[in-house]
């Protein structure tokens, strides 16, 4: 079963269970997926769905930070609950050690040296680690590998 089909099934389950918060979050995700399909006239595969989920999670993290800074814990909690639903659709994340090892292998493979090659390395890393690792963590690992 594709990730897209799994999300649709989860929406039906949430409807039957009358789980309003979960249902709202899943509908938001399906809406973002449909928007991308309509805009680009494509059928989304699992990689594209994971990219959308990643983007929505990043938005939630930014919102949580803003709400907590504004002392709106009620809104921050709502965003955290949405984020918990979204995280379930991501594949298992790589550990920091695995990310560092993968980045070092790619840097060696490309023969990259110094911060000037950051863009080239990030392009290669993104294609291989998209959805598997936190891109903030990946970026830090790339900087560290090119600095050394």
Mean confidence (pLDDT) of the chain: 86
Domain of residue 42, residue span: 3-87
53 and 126 both lie in a single domain: no
Residue 61: burial class (beta carbons within 10 Å; 0-12, 13-18, 19+)? middle
38 and 80 both lie in a single domain: yes
7 and 79 both lie in a single domain: yes
58 and 80 both lie in a single domain: yes
Number of CB atoms found within 10 A of residue 17's CB = 10
Dihedral angle sign, alpha carbons of residues 10, 88, 55, 43: negative
How many domains does the chain divide into? 2
78 and 9 both lie in a single domain: yes
pLDDT tens-place string over residues 40-98: 998 888 878 888 998 999 999 999 999 999 999 999 999 999 999 999 988 877 777 88
Whichever domain contains 75, its CATH number is 1.10.1510.10
User: In this model, does residue 109 exceed pLDDT 80?
Assistant: no
69 and 140 both lie in a single domain: no
48 and 78 both lie in a single domain: yes
23 and 47 both lie in a single domain: yes
Task: Label residue 133 by pLDDT band (50, 70, 90).
Answer: confident
14 and 76 both lie in a single domain: yes
40 and 80 both lie in a single domain: yes
More confident residue, 142 or 16: 16
Whichever domain contains 117, its CATH number is 1.10.10.410
Residue located via tokens 């993290």 = 61
Q: Is the pTM of this model over 0.85?
A: no
63 and 128 both lie in a single domain: no
């Amino acid at each position: 079963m594709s990730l897209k089909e799994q999300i649709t099934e989860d929406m039906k389950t949430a409807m039957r269970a009358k789980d309003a918060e979960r249902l709202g979050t899943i509908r938001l995700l399906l809406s973002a997926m449909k928007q991308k399909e309509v805009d680009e006239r494509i059928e989304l595969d699992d990689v594209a769905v994971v990219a959308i989920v990643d983007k929505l999670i990043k938005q939630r993290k930014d919102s949580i930070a803003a709400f907590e800074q504004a002392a709106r814990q009620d809104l921050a909690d709502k965003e955290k609950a949405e984020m918990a639903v979204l995280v379930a659709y991501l594949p298992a994340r790589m550990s920091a050690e695995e990310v560092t090892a993968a980045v070092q292998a790619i840097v060696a493979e490309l023969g990259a040296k110094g911060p000037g090659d950051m863009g080239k390395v990030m392009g290669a890393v993104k294609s291989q680690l998209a959805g598997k690792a936190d891109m903030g963590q990946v970026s830090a690992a790339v900087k560290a590998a090119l600095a050394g």
